[in-house]
Amino acid sequence: MRSPVPDLLDAVLEECRDAGDDGELAGSIPELADADPERFALALCTVDGTRYAVGDAEHRFTIQSISKPFVYALALADRGYDEVLDHVGVEPSGDAFNEISLEDNGRPRNPMINIGAITTHALAGPRGATAEQSTARVLEGLSTFAGRELEVDEAVEASERETADRNLALAYLVRARGKLQDEPHDAVDGYIRQCSALVDVRDLAVMAMTLGAGGRNPVTGEQVVPAWVCRQVLSVMATCGMYDAAGDWMTTVGIPAKSGVSGGVLGALPGQVGIGAFSPRLDRFGNSVRGSRAFERLSTEMGLHLMHAP
Ligand code: GLN
């Protein structure tokens, strides 16, 4: 019997496209302002590795902040729970993605906002890794999550490097509090390269399902990180993944998720599905408008809300 999923994805895509063209293209990275605002794609990956995709599914875009949960996962796997928790907290900040959000002890509040993500980048790779080695580990690790070798968009990377003052300021603050293990410039350079990795919605769905399947990539079969890491990462995504819209997202969509400034959104429902969405116009929190709408529809149609009693 033919799966009902492709028709559902098509219907959700059309419905969410017709619902309007609200939102603005990202303003913080000049190169992203050239994106085609009409692009829209959805993909879903099941726990057995079956993938479905509709819309502009072949279009590649930079992963941006969606990389954050995966780099957090790599840091946890490489350095262990205690060392990572010593450097980055797990409390929702209720702040915007680029806020100065530090606890009294100098730890960034969580790894999903920039200040925490820059700190986490420097924790990837074995203890004593150089900044270069951490960045190499991050790109290799992101590729393993996706199940294919990801390339970097050099133009977006260069564009973000030119406008990195705020991220540099965040990195210097953490360094001053003794929580950043690399030189601020090196950590920010590596973090920007991480954000510039190119993905499509299918990659997002597979990456999400890998987190939702205890760290085993459902397509390649590779165990990317241990299962305890995924529990930790998904918990932090559930509370902090959508920035200052995290509470609203949890009540309306109910799926641990992460968004990025280029318009991607990824969500993982443990043991069930991984979902990827892409559409470049963003709401005031920096989350894709059509992507968020699509998640809400899919959650309702497929009964995916975590708090929904079957
Ligand atoms: N690279 C972007 C930045 O640091 C990521 C932000 C985002 O996707 N929200 O500003």
ipTM score assigned to the predicted complex: 0.96
Q: Which residue has the tokens 């829209």?
A: 40
pLDDT value for 8: 96
- pLDDT values of the chain reduced to their tens digit, one per residue, 310 residues: 788 999 999 999 999 998 888 999 988 889 899 999 999 999 999 999 999 999 999 999 999 999 999 999 999 999 999 999 999 999 998 888 889 989 999 999 999 999 999 999 999 999 999 999 999 999 999 999 999 999 999 999 999 999 999 999 999 999 999 999 999 999 999 999 999 999 999 999 999 999 999 999 999 999 999 999 999 999 999 999 987 888 899 999 999 999 999 999 999 999 999 999 999 999 999 999 999 999 999 999 999 999 987 7
Q: Which residues contact 251 (CB under 8 A, 6 or more apart)?
A: none
- What separation in Å is there between the alpha carbon of 6 and the centre of ligand 1? 31
Which ligand 1 atom is nearest residue 192's CA?
1
Residue-level length of the chain:
310
- What separation in Å is there between the alpha carbon of 252 and the centre of ligand 1? 24
Q: What is the CA radius of gyration of the chain?
A: 18
- Residues 49, 198: Cα–Cα separation, whole Å: 21
Q: CATH 3.40.710.10 spans which residues of the chain?
A: 5-61+198-302, 64-195
Q: Whose CA is nearest to atom 2 of ligand 1?
A: 64
CB 150 within 8 A of CB 143: yes
Residue 157 beta carbon below 6 angstroms from any ligand 1 atom = no
User: Residue 89 carries which side chain, given as an amino acid letter?
Assistant: G
Question: So what's the architecture of 64-195 in CATH?
Answer: 3-Layer(aba) Sandwich (3.40)
217 labeled binding residue: no
CB 170 within 8 A of CB 205: no
Residue 160 beta carbon below 6 angstroms from any ligand 1 atom = yes
- Dihedral sign, Cα of residue 127, residue 231, residue 149, residue 164: negative
191 labeled binding residue: yes
CB 195 within 8 A of CB 67: yes
CA of 262: how far to CAs of 81, 211, 280, in Å? 30, 22, 6
Question: So what's the architecture of 5-61+198-302 in CATH?
Answer: 3-Layer(aba) Sandwich (3.40)
pLDDT value for 93: 83
42: which DSSP letter?
E
171: which DSSP letter?
H
Q: Is the pTM of this model over 0.90?
A: yes
Active-site annotation, residues: 65, 68, 191, 243, 261
101 labeled binding residue: no
Residue 243 beta carbon below 6 angstroms from any ligand 1 atom = no
CB 155 within 8 A of CB 197: no
Which ligand 1 atom is nearest residue 261's CA?
8
